[in-house]
Amino acid sequence: MIGRIALTGALIRDVEYPSTPRMQQGTITLGVYARFTINWDGHYFNVYASQPSHISWLLNNNVRAGSSVIVNGRFKIRNYTTSRGSRGVSYSITLEQIALAVEVEITLGRRVAGERPADSEATTASITQQLRQRGLVTTTITDQFVNDLQAANDDEQSVFFVERFLEKFPCSVLGLVDSVARALALQVPKEMRTSLLFHQPSEVSVPQFRRFLSNTSIVFDTARLTESLIASFIAEMWIQPTESTSIATTTTTTTTTTTSEMEI
């Protein structure tokens, strides 16, 4: 049975902004979403927000650990068994409405003093750029995506490479704005792009990447780009698969096995 729930609670930790690239019908999607956990009367609810306007609201209002919010959305209960054999229950909410909780009386749809509105024109691309600039987005790569990306055409690989380059390259240290960094990423040769992403046929060396930078038409202060920064960038560009987790629980476990779930 599907239903909705509205409740007020305080965040027990900062908001996370995961990104899990996927290949769908030959096209790479680079969506990002927000997730956080709130405490309501001793119960913990995992809240998931995928709409750009909701993520914009979270950023604009600096929602973090300790913030009190009221959320409204679809409610799901998930029963699971831990690797130690004990049973547990997790509660999740797919966000539809959110507001700051001030004192006792709260009205969804009405802003309280100091609350900033969401950006009604926010898009996935603009939100991803904001999160990247603030260093908040975390990307999870799956084995399936790596396989799909390796089989993709050059254009699709280039789309993913540019976004990963913007996420990993030390733009803030070098004072590079997003548009300049994007232009720099587009100048990376195909062979070097493949080596950076897959370590095929071999890993890119620091001298090789520095030579590329010295020959590019993009002008910036390369003196601040130390060998350690380049080495760190090369290491972070390599896509190393990790299994993504679709739901977070407040119980610390190494493995969870879902036994049943229901939406109410």
Return the higher-pLDDT residue of 201 and 233: 233
Q: Letter for the amino acid at 247?
A: I
**AA letter at 26:** G
Dist CA 213 CA 174 (whole Å)? 13
How many CA atoms lie less than 13 Å away from 84 in the CB half-sphere? 6
Q: Return the closest-CA partner of residue 113 out of 61, 184, 172, 174.
A: 61
pLDDT, tens only, 188-224: 999 999 999 998 878 899 999 999 988 888 888 777 8
Tell me the pLDDT band of 165, cut-offs 50, 70 and 90: very high
Count of C-beta atoms within a 10 Å radius of residue 4: 14
Position 104 scores a pLDDT of: 39
Across the chain, the runs of DSSP E, i.e. the strands, are 4-11, 17-19, 22-24, 27-29, 34-40, 43-49, 68-82, 87-100, 137-139, 256-263
